[in-house]
Amino acid sequence: MATKTVKQSPSHLERTTAEPRDDTLHRVKLTHIDPVNPTIRLFQLSPILEPGRKPITFLPGQWLDVHVPGIHKAGGFTITSPPSLLQPPTNYLELAIQKSPLNPPAAWLWQSPESILGTELRIRVGGSFVWPPPLKESEITRVLFIAGGVGINPLMSIVTTLAIQKKEKGKLGFHVKFLYTTRDFEPDVSPSDILFLERLVCVFDALGDEGQFELFLTSGQRERDETEIATLSVTGKQLKVQRRRIYDTDLLDALGPVEERAGTVCYICGVPMMTDEFVEKAKHAMGIDERNVLSEKWW
């Protein structure tokens, strides 16, 4: 008699086995937990300083192997904060973790905050989806970010770093375009429920005329007019929202004029179908050097 086998999806360690990772395992303390919405929580991890030990360093876009007590295999979660927040006086790394009863480290982190705050965790930095890109910064004319759902996480660390760089130098020297698509919320959108939306509006405010942010909200079951455009008040600013998915034409427009695309760098991190489709389109777009199309997969 044939036995039915249930195919287990690979763990984070199996998915990222070919990725570079640091050789040091660092001790950190879980210092803050903030809910964003019913399915996403923000976590702050602060280093436990040990004399003579290498400090934690990372590049914007990298993730952590996170070892939680009692679970043998590490979970994999992306750092959403910029490296500067790991310096005094803030001293922390931030993660945004989706509720997932199936993934043991995520389930551990979704216990009641009171029962896990102050716990010591072990982390290791890894990943190659990072800022700066392979193209020399002086040759970059445009950076396009495309985020879908929790795929915003690595891109949040990168754009925040760019906003800090702009503040320090007064100018980036290239244009930053950001297309963010996520699920709409019923019955009306609460901007604070959308992961990092308020933060992104502040980042693009800081980038001024060197940045442009566009939000696309897609509905779950609700049937919508595909072309619906609305405005959302976010941190006192009116943000134009398109209630549709990101089309190929949005991607091609955002890559810039064909004759200028040698200086375009594109970062894509979204949901499965969307990421593969956009990576293929961007890599084969006229004028684009496919080495400048970077993507991260979580599955």
Task: Tell me how far, at minimum, the Cβ of 48 lies from ligand FAD, in Å.
Answer: 22
233 touches ligand FAD (CB under 6 A): no
Distance, CA of 152 to CA of 164 (rounded, Å): 18
Sign of the CA dihedral 104, 105, 109, 115?
A: positive
Q: Which of 62, 103, 157, 161 binds ligand FAD (CB under 6 A)?
A: 103
63 touches ligand FAD (CB under 6 A): yes
End-to-end CA gap in the chain: 32
Nearer to ligand FAD, 83 or 105 (CB): 105
42 touches ligand FAD (CB under 6 A): no
Q: What share of the chain is helix, strand, coil (3-state, %, to 5)?
A: 30, 30, 40
What values do phi and psi take at 114, rounded to 5?
A: -60, -30
Cβ atoms of 108 and 68 closer than 8 Å = yes
Write out the DSSP string of 282-295. Answer: HHTSTT--GGGEEE
Distance, CA of 108 to CA of 121 (rounded, Å): 11
Tokens 């593969």, residue? 276
Q: Which of residues 152-171 bind ligand FAD (CB under 6 A)?
A: 153
Q: Show the site string, 212-231: x = touches ligand FAD by CB under 6 A, - = not.
A: --------------------
15 touches ligand FAD (CB under 6 A): yes
16 touches ligand FAD (CB under 6 A): yes
Nearer to ligand FAD, 7 or 171 (CB): 7
Distance, CA of 55 to CA of 47 (rounded, Å): 8
58 touches ligand FAD (CB under 6 A): no
148 touches ligand FAD (CB under 6 A): no
Q: Which of 5, 9, 115, 138 binds ligand FAD (CB under 6 A)?
A: 9
145 touches ligand FAD (CB under 6 A): no
Nearer to ligand FAD, 153 or 264 (CB): 153
Task: Tell me how far, at minimum, the Cβ of 72 lies from ligand FAD, in Å.
Answer: 7
Of 123, 114, 119, which Cα lies nearest the Cα of 95? 123
- Residues near ligand FAD, by CB under 6 A: 8-9, 11-12, 15-16, 63, 71, 73-78, 95-98, 100, 102-106, 150, 153, 298
